[in-house]
Protein backbone atom coordinates (compact mmCIF):
# COMPACT_ATOMS: atom_id res chain seq x y z
CA UNK A 1 0.00 0.00 0.00
CA UNK A 2 1.18 3.51 -0.77
CA UNK A 3 1.91 5.77 2.16
CA UNK A 4 -0.23 8.82 2.84
CA UNK A 5 0.85 12.10 4.37
CA UNK A 6 -1.00 11.46 7.61
CA UNK A 7 -3.06 14.22 9.16
CA UNK A 8 -6.17 14.53 11.38
CA UNK A 9 -9.19 13.49 9.33
CA UNK A 10 -12.29 15.62 9.74
CA UNK A 11 -15.51 13.69 9.17
CA UNK A 12 -18.47 14.86 7.10
CA UNK A 13 -21.50 13.42 8.89
CA UNK A 14 -24.48 11.54 7.52
CA UNK A 15 -27.76 12.99 8.79
CA UNK A 16 -30.62 10.63 9.62
CA UNK A 17 -34.22 11.83 9.77
CA UNK A 18 -36.12 10.31 12.67
CA UNK A 19 -39.71 10.68 13.83
CA UNK A 20 -38.39 11.83 17.23
CA UNK A 21 -35.68 14.20 15.92
CA UNK A 22 -35.41 17.96 15.46
CA UNK A 23 -32.98 20.75 14.60
CA UNK A 24 -31.02 21.07 17.83
CA UNK A 25 -27.76 19.92 16.22
CA UNK A 26 -27.93 23.06 14.10
CA UNK A 27 -28.70 25.24 17.12
CA UNK A 28 -26.00 23.80 19.40
CA UNK A 29 -23.20 22.84 16.99
CA UNK A 30 -24.04 24.81 13.84
CA UNK A 31 -24.41 21.68 11.73
CA UNK A 32 -25.88 22.28 8.29
CA UNK A 33 -28.97 20.16 8.66
CA UNK A 34 -31.55 19.79 5.89
CA UNK A 35 -34.11 22.52 6.47
CA UNK A 36 -37.47 21.41 7.83
CA UNK A 37 -36.40 17.83 8.56
CA UNK A 38 -36.48 16.14 11.95
CA UNK A 39 -32.86 15.06 12.20
CA UNK A 40 -32.45 12.65 15.07
CA UNK A 41 -28.98 11.30 14.35
CA UNK A 42 -25.77 12.69 12.90
CA UNK A 43 -23.48 9.79 12.01
CA UNK A 44 -20.06 11.36 12.50
CA UNK A 45 -17.84 8.30 12.05
CA UNK A 46 -19.59 5.61 10.03
CA UNK A 47 -18.68 2.80 7.66
CA UNK A 48 -21.89 0.81 7.19
CA UNK A 49 -24.16 0.14 4.21
CA UNK A 50 -26.78 2.30 5.95
CA UNK A 51 -24.41 5.28 6.11
CA UNK A 52 -20.81 6.10 5.22
CA UNK A 53 -19.12 9.25 6.48
CA UNK A 54 -16.66 11.00 4.19
CA UNK A 55 -13.45 12.91 4.80
CA UNK A 56 -13.92 16.68 4.69
CA UNK A 57 -10.36 17.99 4.63
CA UNK A 58 -6.94 17.56 3.04
CA UNK A 59 -5.85 15.22 0.22
CA UNK A 60 -8.41 12.57 1.23
CA UNK A 61 -11.33 15.02 0.95
CA UNK A 62 -14.43 13.42 -0.57
CA UNK A 63 -13.39 9.82 0.00
CA UNK A 64 -15.37 7.61 2.33
CA UNK A 65 -13.91 6.57 5.64
CA UNK A 66 -13.95 2.95 4.48
CA UNK A 67 -12.00 3.76 1.31
CA UNK A 68 -9.29 5.62 3.19
CA UNK A 69 -8.90 3.02 5.93
CA UNK A 70 -8.94 0.24 3.35
CA UNK A 71 -6.05 1.86 1.49
CA UNK A 72 -4.02 3.19 4.39
CA UNK A 73 -5.09 0.83 7.14
CA UNK A 74 -1.81 0.44 8.99
CA UNK A 75 -1.00 4.14 9.01
CA UNK A 76 -4.45 5.03 10.30
CA UNK A 77 -5.25 2.15 12.63
CA UNK A 78 -1.76 1.03 13.58
CA UNK A 79 -0.09 -2.31 12.98
CA UNK A 80 -2.15 -4.11 15.62
CA UNK A 81 -5.56 -2.97 14.40
CA UNK A 82 -4.94 -2.64 10.66
CA UNK A 83 -7.88 -4.16 8.79
CA UNK A 84 -5.96 -4.86 5.60
CA UNK A 85 -6.94 -8.31 4.38
CA UNK A 86 -9.27 -8.89 7.31
CA UNK A 87 -12.70 -10.46 7.13
CA UNK A 88 -15.26 -10.63 9.87
CA UNK A 89 -13.74 -12.65 12.71
CA UNK A 90 -16.37 -12.14 15.36
CA UNK A 91 -19.03 -14.39 13.88
CA UNK A 92 -19.60 -16.37 10.69
CA UNK A 93 -23.23 -16.20 9.71
CA UNK A 94 -25.10 -18.43 7.29
CA UNK A 95 -26.09 -16.99 3.94
CA UNK A 96 -29.79 -17.10 4.84
CA UNK A 97 -31.58 -15.90 7.97
CA UNK A 98 -33.23 -18.30 10.34
CA UNK A 99 -36.63 -19.49 9.20
CA UNK A 100 -39.42 -17.00 9.69
CA UNK A 101 -37.13 -14.00 10.20
CA UNK A 102 -36.45 -11.25 7.73
CA UNK A 103 -33.05 -9.66 7.22
CA UNK A 104 -32.78 -5.97 7.91
CA UNK A 105 -31.18 -3.83 5.25
CA UNK A 106 -27.41 -4.26 5.19
CA UNK A 107 -27.41 -7.43 7.32
CA UNK A 108 -26.22 -9.93 4.74
CA UNK A 109 -23.92 -12.81 5.66
CA UNK A 110 -20.66 -11.43 6.97
CA UNK A 111 -18.17 -14.25 6.48
CA UNK A 112 -16.93 -12.95 3.12
CA UNK A 113 -17.35 -9.21 3.71
CA UNK A 114 -14.52 -6.92 4.82
CA UNK A 115 -14.85 -5.66 8.34
CA UNK A 116 -16.26 -2.17 8.66
CA UNK A 117 -14.35 0.47 10.57
CA UNK A 118 -14.65 -0.70 14.20
CA UNK A 119 -16.54 2.33 15.52
CA UNK A 120 -19.82 4.07 14.82
CA UNK A 121 -20.03 7.50 16.46
CA UNK A 122 -23.16 9.66 16.46
CA UNK A 123 -24.75 12.75 17.92
CA UNK A 124 -28.38 12.13 18.89
CA UNK A 125 -31.09 14.78 19.29
CA UNK A 126 -34.12 13.36 21.11
CA UNK A 127 -36.97 15.85 20.83
CA UNK A 128 -39.45 13.09 21.56
CA UNK A 129 -39.17 9.72 23.30
CA UNK A 130 -37.37 6.97 21.37
CA UNK A 131 -38.75 3.49 20.92
CA UNK A 132 -38.00 0.83 23.52
CA UNK A 133 -35.40 -1.35 21.88
CA UNK A 134 -32.61 -3.86 22.32
CA UNK A 135 -29.51 -4.88 20.38
CA UNK A 136 -28.25 -8.46 20.10
CA UNK A 137 -24.91 -9.78 21.30
CA UNK A 138 -22.62 -11.98 19.19
CA UNK A 139 -24.07 -15.23 20.51
CA UNK A 140 -27.62 -14.12 19.72
CA UNK A 141 -26.57 -13.16 16.19
CA UNK A 142 -25.07 -16.61 15.71
CA UNK A 143 -28.15 -18.32 17.11
CA UNK A 144 -30.56 -16.28 15.01
CA UNK A 145 -28.38 -16.32 11.91
CA UNK A 146 -28.69 -12.59 11.23
CA UNK A 147 -27.49 -9.20 12.48
CA UNK A 148 -24.38 -7.65 13.98
CA UNK A 149 -23.74 -7.26 17.72
CA UNK A 150 -24.22 -3.73 19.01
CA UNK A 151 -22.66 -2.37 22.19
CA UNK A 152 -22.88 1.34 22.93
CA UNK A 153 -22.55 4.16 25.41
CA UNK A 154 -24.32 7.49 25.79
CA UNK A 155 -22.53 10.66 26.88
CA UNK A 156 -25.12 13.22 27.97
CA UNK A 157 -24.37 16.65 26.48
CA UNK A 158 -27.62 18.36 27.48
CA UNK A 159 -30.64 17.21 29.47
CA UNK A 160 -33.85 19.16 29.94
CA UNK A 161 -35.33 19.14 33.47
CA UNK A 162 -37.04 15.81 34.10
CA UNK A 163 -35.30 13.98 31.21
CA UNK A 164 -34.54 10.31 31.80
CA UNK A 165 -33.05 7.34 30.05
CA UNK A 166 -34.75 3.96 30.23
CA UNK A 167 -31.88 1.67 31.17
CA UNK A 168 -32.96 -1.92 31.51
CA UNK A 169 -35.91 -3.44 33.28
CA UNK A 170 -36.88 -3.03 36.91
CA UNK A 171 -35.27 -5.53 39.21
CA UNK A 172 -37.02 -8.88 39.22
CA UNK A 173 -38.93 -8.51 35.95
CA UNK A 174 -39.12 -11.90 34.24
CA UNK A 175 -39.39 -12.82 30.60
CA UNK A 176 -42.97 -13.97 31.13
CA UNK A 177 -43.95 -10.67 32.78
CA UNK A 178 -42.38 -8.70 29.97
CA UNK A 179 -44.17 -10.69 27.28
CA UNK A 180 -47.50 -10.08 29.04
CA UNK A 181 -46.69 -6.35 29.27
CA UNK A 182 -46.11 -6.24 25.51
CA UNK A 183 -49.50 -7.87 24.94
CA UNK A 184 -51.25 -5.38 27.25
CA UNK A 185 -49.27 -2.32 26.04
CA UNK A 186 -47.91 -1.85 29.56
CA UNK A 187 -44.18 -2.03 28.78
CA UNK A 188 -43.40 1.40 30.25
CA UNK A 189 -44.33 0.29 33.77
CA UNK A 190 -41.53 -2.31 33.73
CA UNK A 191 -38.73 -0.03 32.53
CA UNK A 192 -36.09 1.40 34.87
CA UNK A 193 -36.28 5.20 34.39
CA UNK A 194 -32.95 6.78 35.33
CA UNK A 195 -32.72 10.59 35.74
CA UNK A 196 -29.70 11.99 33.90
CA UNK A 197 -27.70 15.20 33.69
CA UNK A 198 -25.04 16.65 31.43
CA UNK A 199 -21.59 15.10 31.85
CA UNK A 200 -22.76 11.57 32.62
CA UNK A 201 -21.80 8.54 30.54
CA UNK A 202 -23.99 5.43 30.49
CA UNK A 203 -22.67 2.13 29.15
CA UNK A 204 -25.22 -0.14 27.43
CA UNK A 205 -24.08 -3.68 26.70
CA UNK A 206 -25.90 -5.77 24.14
CA UNK A 207 -29.05 -7.36 25.50
CA UNK A 208 -30.22 -4.49 27.71
CA UNK A 209 -33.60 -2.91 26.95
CA UNK A 210 -33.25 0.86 26.61
CA UNK A 211 -34.75 4.12 25.33
CA UNK A 212 -34.31 7.88 25.60
CA UNK A 213 -36.91 10.33 26.84
CA UNK A 214 -37.52 13.66 25.15
CA UNK A 215 -35.17 16.55 25.93
CA UNK A 216 -31.79 14.88 25.50
CA UNK A 217 -28.75 15.68 23.35
CA UNK A 218 -25.95 13.16 23.50
CA UNK A 219 -22.93 11.59 21.87
CA UNK A 220 -23.17 7.88 21.19
CA UNK A 221 -20.15 5.61 20.75
CA UNK A 222 -20.84 2.07 19.58
CA UNK A 223 -19.65 -0.92 17.66
CA UNK A 224 -20.33 -0.79 13.90
CA UNK A 225 -23.87 -2.13 13.72
CA UNK A 226 -27.34 -0.81 12.97
CA UNK A 227 -29.12 -3.94 14.19
CA UNK A 228 -31.97 -2.67 16.37
CA UNK A 229 -35.04 -4.56 17.50
CA UNK A 230 -37.95 -2.35 18.57
CA UNK A 231 -40.23 -3.91 21.14
CA UNK A 232 -42.50 -0.94 21.99
CA UNK A 233 -43.02 2.47 20.37
CA UNK A 234 -45.40 4.18 22.81
CA UNK A 235 -48.34 3.51 20.42
CA UNK A 236 -46.92 6.19 18.12
CA UNK A 237 -47.88 6.56 14.44
CA UNK A 238 -46.21 8.40 11.56
CA UNK A 239 -47.66 11.23 9.45
CA UNK A 240 -49.69 8.65 7.53
CA UNK A 241 -51.23 7.18 10.68
CA UNK A 242 -49.15 4.01 10.50
CA UNK A 243 -47.22 2.53 13.43
CA UNK A 244 -43.56 1.75 12.99
CA UNK A 245 -42.58 -1.88 12.61
CA UNK A 246 -41.80 -3.82 15.78
CA UNK A 247 -39.47 -6.82 16.10
CA UNK A 248 -40.92 -8.49 19.16
CA UNK A 249 -39.73 -12.05 18.59
CA UNK A 250 -36.19 -10.90 17.81
CA UNK A 251 -36.19 -8.55 20.80
CA UNK A 252 -37.31 -11.22 23.25
CA UNK A 253 -34.61 -13.50 21.85
CA UNK A 254 -31.98 -10.78 22.42
CA UNK A 255 -32.86 -9.47 25.91
CA UNK A 256 -30.73 -10.39 28.92
CA UNK A 257 -33.25 -10.26 31.74
CA UNK A 258 -30.50 -10.42 34.37
CA UNK A 259 -28.95 -7.04 33.41
CA UNK A 260 -30.45 -4.19 35.42
CA UNK A 261 -29.49 -0.53 35.70
CA UNK A 262 -28.01 -0.91 39.20
CA UNK A 263 -25.26 -3.05 37.62
CA UNK A 264 -24.42 -0.26 35.15
CA UNK A 265 -23.72 2.94 37.12
CA UNK A 266 -23.04 6.23 35.35
CA UNK A 267 -19.47 7.52 35.06
CA UNK A 268 -18.51 11.18 34.94
CA UNK A 269 -14.71 11.61 35.02
CA UNK A 270 -11.56 10.02 33.64
CA UNK A 271 -12.08 6.74 31.82
CA UNK A 272 -15.79 6.58 31.15
CA UNK A 273 -15.90 3.21 29.35
CA UNK A 274 -13.35 0.41 29.42
CA UNK A 275 -14.79 -2.45 27.37
CA UNK A 276 -13.27 -5.05 25.08
CA UNK A 277 -14.77 -3.18 22.11
CA UNK A 278 -13.76 0.44 22.77
CA UNK A 279 -12.52 2.79 25.45
CA UNK A 280 -13.79 6.31 26.11
CA UNK A 281 -11.88 8.91 28.12
CA UNK A 282 -13.10 12.36 29.11
CA UNK A 283 -10.75 15.34 28.83
CA UNK A 284 -10.96 18.98 29.83
CA UNK A 285 -8.42 21.64 28.79
CA UNK A 286 -8.35 25.36 29.44
CA UNK A 287 -7.78 27.95 26.76
CA UNK A 288 -4.12 28.45 25.74
CA UNK A 289 -3.24 24.90 26.86
CA UNK A 290 -1.57 22.28 24.68
CA UNK A 291 -1.79 18.49 24.45
CA UNK A 292 0.80 16.35 22.66
CA UNK A 293 -0.40 13.47 20.45
CA UNK A 294 2.22 10.77 20.03
CA UNK A 295 2.39 8.09 17.35
CA UNK A 296 1.23 4.52 17.78
CA UNK A 297 -2.42 4.85 18.77
CA UNK A 298 -5.42 5.73 16.62
CA UNK A 299 -7.79 8.11 18.40
CA UNK A 300 -11.13 9.66 17.63
CA UNK A 301 -11.65 13.04 19.29
CA UNK A 302 -15.23 14.20 19.91
CA UNK A 303 -15.34 17.87 20.88
CA UNK A 304 -18.24 18.73 23.17
CA UNK A 305 -17.35 22.38 23.84
CA UNK A 306 -14.61 24.86 22.98
CA UNK A 307 -12.25 24.87 20.03
CA UNK A 308 -8.69 25.09 18.80
CA UNK A 309 -6.39 23.52 16.23
CA UNK A 310 -4.16 20.49 15.74
CA UNK A 311 -0.65 21.33 14.50
CA UNK A 312 2.22 19.25 13.15
CA UNK A 313 5.38 19.79 11.15
CA UNK A 314 4.18 17.55 8.29
CA UNK A 315 0.59 18.71 7.70
CA UNK A 316 -1.52 21.84 7.59
CA UNK A 317 -3.21 22.93 10.79
CA UNK A 318 -6.66 21.41 11.32
CA UNK A 319 -9.04 23.64 13.24
CA UNK A 320 -11.87 22.24 15.34
CA UNK A 321 -14.87 23.47 17.28
CA UNK A 322 -17.64 22.00 19.40
CA UNK A 323 -19.51 19.31 17.47
CA UNK A 324 -16.51 18.17 15.40
CA UNK A 325 -15.18 14.63 15.29
CA UNK A 326 -11.57 14.14 14.21
CA UNK A 327 -9.94 10.80 13.47
CA UNK A 328 -6.25 10.94 14.48
CA UNK A 329 -4.23 8.31 12.57
CA UNK A 330 -1.87 6.10 14.53
CA UNK A 331 1.07 7.38 12.46
CA UNK A 332 0.32 11.04 13.22
CA UNK A 333 2.32 13.13 15.65
CA UNK A 334 1.35 16.65 16.62
CA UNK A 335 0.02 19.06 19.20
CA UNK A 336 -3.52 20.08 20.07
CA UNK A 337 -3.73 23.77 20.97
CA UNK A 338 -6.89 24.84 22.77
CA UNK A 339 -8.00 28.41 22.16
CA UNK A 340 -11.01 28.11 24.47
CA UNK A 341 -12.06 26.07 27.46
CA UNK A 342 -12.77 22.66 25.89
CA UNK A 343 -14.40 19.42 26.91
CA UNK A 344 -13.81 16.42 24.66
CA UNK A 345 -14.00 12.64 24.49
CA UNK A 346 -11.15 10.42 23.29
CA UNK A 347 -12.23 7.09 21.82
CA UNK A 348 -9.75 4.27 21.24
CA UNK A 349 -10.08 0.60 20.34
Specify the pTM: 0.89
The residues with which 290 forms a beta bridge, in sequence order, are 337
Domains annotated for the chain, with CATH where assigned, are 9-267 (2.60.120.10), 279-348 (2.60.120.10)
Helix/strand/coil for 243: strand
pLDDT tens across 144-172, in order?
999 999 999 999 999 999 999 999 999 99
Least confident piece of the model among 6-10, 18-22, 60-64, 240-244? 240-244
Judge contact between 166 and 232, C-beta under 8 A: no
Among 211-215, 272-276, 314-318, whose mean pLDDT is lowest? Answer: 314-318
**Least confidently predicted of 99-113, 179-193, 267-281:** 99-113
Is 80 exceeded by the pLDDT of residue 40?
A: yes
In this structure, are strands 216-222 and 120-126 parallel, antiparallel, or unpaired? antiparallel
pLDDT at 55: 97
pLDDT of residue 150: 96
Q: CA-to-CA distance for 99 and 87, rounded, in angstroms? A: 26
Q: How many CB atoms lie within 10 A of CB 314?
A: 11
167, burial (CB in 10 Å: exposed 0-12, middle 13-18, buried 19+): buried
- Does residue 88 have a pLDDT over 60? no
Per-residue pLDDT band at 196 (split at 50, 70, 90): very high
d(CA 275, CA 151): 9
Residue whose C-alpha is closest to residue 248's, from 234, 236, 231, 233: 231
Q: Report in angstroms the alpha-carbon separations of 91 from 101, 108, 114.
A: 18, 12, 13
pLDDT at 137: 96
Amino acid sequence: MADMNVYPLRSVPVFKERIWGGQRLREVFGKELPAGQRIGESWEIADLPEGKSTIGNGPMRGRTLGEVVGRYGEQIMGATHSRRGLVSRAFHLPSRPAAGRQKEQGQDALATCPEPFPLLIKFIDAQDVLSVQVHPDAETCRRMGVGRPKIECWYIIHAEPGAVIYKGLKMGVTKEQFVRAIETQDVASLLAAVPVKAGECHYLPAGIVHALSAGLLLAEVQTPSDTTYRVFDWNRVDEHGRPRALHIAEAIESIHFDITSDKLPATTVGRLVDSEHFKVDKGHQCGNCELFLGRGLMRTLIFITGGGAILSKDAEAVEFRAGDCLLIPAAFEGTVTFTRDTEYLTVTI
